[in-house]
């Protein structure tokens, strides 16, 4: 089928019927807000199965997937080794509530790949990981304030829900009702890539800041790489002021290399959070760091954190099967080459269509921002034409290409995307962008 023709030929009758039922029993018909497609319009997807780089909706429509479960599916959908490991473990038992050797094995794979993480605590979600890391930092330093960056998203714990990216940016929520003002006041928001603002925060709250938490590559306001010297500057500022540096690698961990992106960026955090890829598509996350900090966590120390399903054997088996595959030679190089082909091609198509836009990219991550100006922080990202992005999203979806249903998210290239997939995507983009340019008179 030509990219000039819509690929979603089948009526979405069954999907529509399922979503009608979902709205009666699920809040908004979804279990995470961005899935409702509120910022891009159109009908939310109802997915029935996935295979490799493709998703199939409840009506049998095939979609080329660049969302990849928000980055978790680096090895594609229904990866054979991961599926086999989960099935085998299901026969052995799905939850025990006590320690298994599987937890030790996955922790060992992670600490070997990230040597500056000496001890780990597994949890069930990225929100749990970041929330627990902040609690630990406060417990270690005996201070209350934290510094976070506008547009960075660290999950939905109360401390993080002000000027956050991801779903809040998508829905235009700056402050979240339900978060006590007294708690919100303990979170100091500063612009990403602005070391002077960080210095001012420390000067104004001398001896009171427990930690700085940061995405090393912002990916929840769309992809925004760190400016030269930004992360090393944070490392120096936190050390000088007796605060901890928490690097949130829920997205970037094992995404750009087999291990932490910090190795590439020349820093070492005191505490690091991980998620998504380390679970192979099954819910799991972790926080970890040097023993001197992690030993403050119960049962060794007084900072309490627990979880009934933490270290769940299904998740451990899936994570082990995933991380063992990420050691394949050239896997990351191949993903980067494909991602570059996609980004360079999209830039050319935007130019040919006469549409002003930026594409921020690093490794296998990228975001199209429909704005003529460079995007270096959340303020820049919010200048994007979200209506134009929504139109681009729908045009691409009509041609069987599933991009993030939000301007403020990332595109992910996986290890199972192919050059043919990228070429198909660029052909669809050519037609989509020309249609947008024609309608808007660009």
Fold equal for 13-65+330-440 and 80-325: no
CATH for 13-65+330-440 is: 3.90.1150.10
* Closest to 159 measured CA to CA, from 184, 137, 182: 184
Among 357-366, 386-395, 432-441, whose mean pLDDT is lowest?
A: 432-441
Catalytic residues: 153, 248, 276
CB 132 within 8 A of CB 123: yes
Overall pTM > 0.85: yes
For residue 328, pLDDT beyond 60: yes
Q: What is the mean pLDDT of the chain?
A: 93
- For the chain, give every domain's residue range: 13-65+330-440, 80-325
pLDDT at position 172 is 47
Helices (H), 268-418: 291-294, 313-325, 331-353, 378-381, 386-398
Q: What is the rounded CA–CA span in Å between residue 133 and residue 247? A: 10
For 170-197, the pLDDT digits (tens) are 444 456 677 778 888 899 999 999 999 9
For 67-88, the pLDDT digits (tens) are 999 999 999 999 999 999 999 9
Q: What is the rounded CA–CA span in Å between residue 371 and residue 26? A: 35
Domain 80-325 in CATH 3.40.640.10? The answer is yes
Confidence of residue 236 (pLDDT cuts 50, 70, 90): very high
pLDDT at position 268 is 97
pLDDT at position 178 is 76
**Rounded to the nearest 10 degrees, how much is the dihedral formed by the CA atoms of 51, 18, 156, 127?**
-40
Q: What is the rounded CA–CA span in Å between residue 188 and residue 210? A: 11
Cβ atoms within 10 Å, residue 18: 17
* Closest to 40 measured CA to CA, from 345, 441, 385, 342: 385
């Amino acid at each position: 089928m030509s990219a000039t023709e819509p690929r979603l030929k089948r009526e979405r009758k069954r999907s529509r019927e399922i979503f009608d039922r979902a709205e009666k029993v699920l809040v908004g018909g979804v279990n995470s807000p961005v899935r409702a497609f509120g910022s891009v319009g159109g009908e939310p997807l109802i997915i029935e199965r996935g295979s490799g780089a493709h998703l199939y909706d409840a009506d049998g429509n095939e979609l080329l997937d660049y969302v990849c479960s928000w980055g978790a599916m680096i090895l594609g959908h229904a990866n054979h080794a991961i599926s086999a490991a989960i099935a085998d473990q299901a026969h052995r038992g799905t939850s025990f509530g006590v320690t298994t050797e599987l937890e030790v094995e996955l922790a060992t794979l992670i600490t070997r790949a990230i040597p500056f993480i000496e001890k780990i605590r597994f949890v069930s979600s990225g929100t749990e990981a970041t929330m627990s890391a902040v609690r630990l930092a406060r417990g270690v330093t005996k201070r209350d304030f934290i510094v976070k960056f506008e547009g960075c998203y660290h999950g939905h714990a109360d401390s993080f829900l002000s000027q956050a990216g991801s779903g809040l940016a998508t829905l235009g929520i700056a402050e979240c009702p339900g978060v006590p003002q007294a708690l919100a006041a303990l979170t100091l928001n500063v612009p990403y890539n602005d070391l002077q603002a960080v210095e001012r925060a420390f000067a104004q709250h001398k001896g009171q800041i427990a930690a700085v938490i940061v995405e090393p590559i912002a990916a929840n306001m769309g992809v925004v790489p760190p400016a030269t010297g930004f992360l090393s500057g944070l490392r120096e500022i936190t050390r000088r002021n007796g605060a901890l540096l928490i690097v949130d690698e829920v997205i970037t961990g094992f995404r750009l290399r087999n291990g932490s992106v910090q190795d590439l960026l020349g820093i070492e955090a005191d505490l690091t959070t991980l998620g998504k890829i380390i679970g192979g598509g099954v819910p799991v996350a972790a926080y970890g760091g040097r023993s001197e900090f992690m030993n403050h966590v119960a049962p060794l120390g007084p900072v309490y954190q627990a979880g009934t399903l933490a270290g769940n054997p299904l998740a451990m088996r899936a994570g082990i099967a995933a991380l063992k595959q990420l050691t394949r030679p050239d896997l990351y190089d191949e993903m980067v080459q494909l991602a570059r082909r996609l980004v360079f091609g999209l830039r050319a198509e935007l130019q040919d269509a006469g549409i002003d836009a930026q594409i921020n990219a690093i490794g296998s991550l990228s975001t199209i921002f429909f704005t003529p100006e460079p995007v270096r922080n959340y303020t820049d990202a919010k200048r994007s034409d979200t209506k134009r992005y929504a139109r681009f999203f729908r045009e691409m979806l009509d041609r069987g290409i599933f991009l993030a249903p939000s301007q403020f998210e990332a595109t992910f290239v996986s290890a199972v995307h192919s050059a043919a997939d990228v070429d198909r995507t660029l052909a669809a983009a050519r037609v989509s962008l020309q249609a947008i340019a024609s309608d808007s008179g660009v």
